[in-house]
């Protein structure tokens, strides 16, 4: 019974974490608002990164997997979707570099954020694969036939 008379102070934080036995309702409103902002920022980062991946997936699908279409049609559709994917990835990169006390990546250059790097690497890979696909399909620039239709 040595420590039985020590009262538990509920709602006190220890290094940014709630103590065991306390709830969010026990914290003061300022701490609750700060916690909510941090949580929304982290959820926004995850959601925007998922949207970046999804938009790049749509670019790759339209560039390579449209059956029965000419490569010019696929290229124009992929470029249109590429512009949308660039906007999504840059917006996500802005969210990743959002200046905040709880954001360890705050102040990071936009080009060095994860969504923008993913965009640049994915586009580089898609350009290489598209050029390789075009070369294998059409025979490349040295195909031998001037009137060769790559359709």
Are 121 and 80 spatial neighbours (Cβ–Cβ below 8 Å)?
no
CA distances from 93 to 54, 101, 122 (A): 15, 17, 15
| Domain presence at residue 144 | no
| Domain presence at residue 90 | yes
Cα 34 from Cα 133, distance rounded (Å)? 51
| Domain presence at residue 65 | yes
Within its chain, how far is the Cα of 40 from the centroid? 16
Write down the mean pLDDT value for the chain.
Answer: 77
Across residues 29-39, what is the average pLDDT?
79
| Domain presence at residue 122 | yes
Confidence band for 8, pLDDT divided at 50, 70 and 90:
very low
Examine the pLDDT at 71 and tell me if it is beyond 90. no
Of 13-22, 80-89, 112-121, the least confident: 13-22
User: Residue 49's domain spans which residues?
Assistant: 28-136
| Domain presence at residue 103 | yes
Six-digit token string for 112: 């060095």
Examine the pLDDT at 18 and tell me if it is beyond 70. no
- Closest listed residue to residue 31, CA positions, set 16, 19, 21, 20: 16
| Domain presence at residue 5 | no
| Domain presence at residue 110 | yes
CA distances from 140 to 106, 125, 148 (A): 46, 19, 10
pLDDT the model gives residue 9: 45
Number of domains in the chain: 1
| Domain presence at residue 7 | no
């Amino acid at each position: 019974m040595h420590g039985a008379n020590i009262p538990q102070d509920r709602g006190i934080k220890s290094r940014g974490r709630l103590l065991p036995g306390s709830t969010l309702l026990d914290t003061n409103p300022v701490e609750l608002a700060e916690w909510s902002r941090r949580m929304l920022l982290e959820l926004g980062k995850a959601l925007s990164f998922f949207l970046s991946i999804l938009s790049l997936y749509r670019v790759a699908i339209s560039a390579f997997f449209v059956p029965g279409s000419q490569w010019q049609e696929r290229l124009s559709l992929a470029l249109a979707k590429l512009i949308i994917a660039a906007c999504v990835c840059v917006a996500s990169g802005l969210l990743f570099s959002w200046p905040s006390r709880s954001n360890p990546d705050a102040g990071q250059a936009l080009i060095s954020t994860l969504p923008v790097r993913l965009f640049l690497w994915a586009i580089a890979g898609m350009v290489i694969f598209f050029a390789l696909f075009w070369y294998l399909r059409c025979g490349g620039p040295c195909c031998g036939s001037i009137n060769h239709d790559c359709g």
